[in-house]
Amino acid sequence: MLAQKLTFSQLLAQAVLKLVGWEAIGTFPDLSKFVLVGAPHTSNWDFPLTMLLMFAKGLRFNWIGKASLFRWPFGGLFHRLGGIPVKRDSSQNFVQQIVATFEHSTHMIIAIAPEGTRSLVTRWKTGFYYMAVGAKVPLVLGFVDYKRRQVGVGPVVYPSADIEETFAQLRLFYADKKGRYPHKQGEITSTL
- pLDDT computed for residue 5 by the predictor: 84
**CA-based R_g, the chain, Å:** 16
Please report the pLDDT score of residue 66 as a whole number.
77
**Quick one: pLDDT at residue 1?**
44
Cβ atoms of residues 37 and 114 within 8 Å:
yes
Asked whether the bond before 73 is cis by omega within 30 degrees of 0, the reply is: yes
Q: What angle do CA 126, 132, 137 make, to 5 degrees?
A: 160
- Note the pLDDT of residue 70: 81
| 83-88: Cβ within 8 A, 24+ apart | 84/110, 88/116
Measuring CA to CA, which residue among 151, 127, 122 is closest to residue 139? 127
- The distance from CA 124 to its chain's CA centroid, rounded to whole angstroms, is 13
Q: Which domains does the chain have, with CATH numbers?
A: 20-183 (3.40.50)
Tens-of-pLDDT digits for all 192 residues of the chain? 445 788 999 999 999 999 999 999 999 999 999 999 999 999 999 989 998 999 999 988 887 777 887 888 888 888 887 787 877 666 568 888 889 888 988 998 999 999 877 788 888 989 999 999 999 999 999 999 999 999 999 999 999 999 999 999 999 999 999 999 999 988 888 875
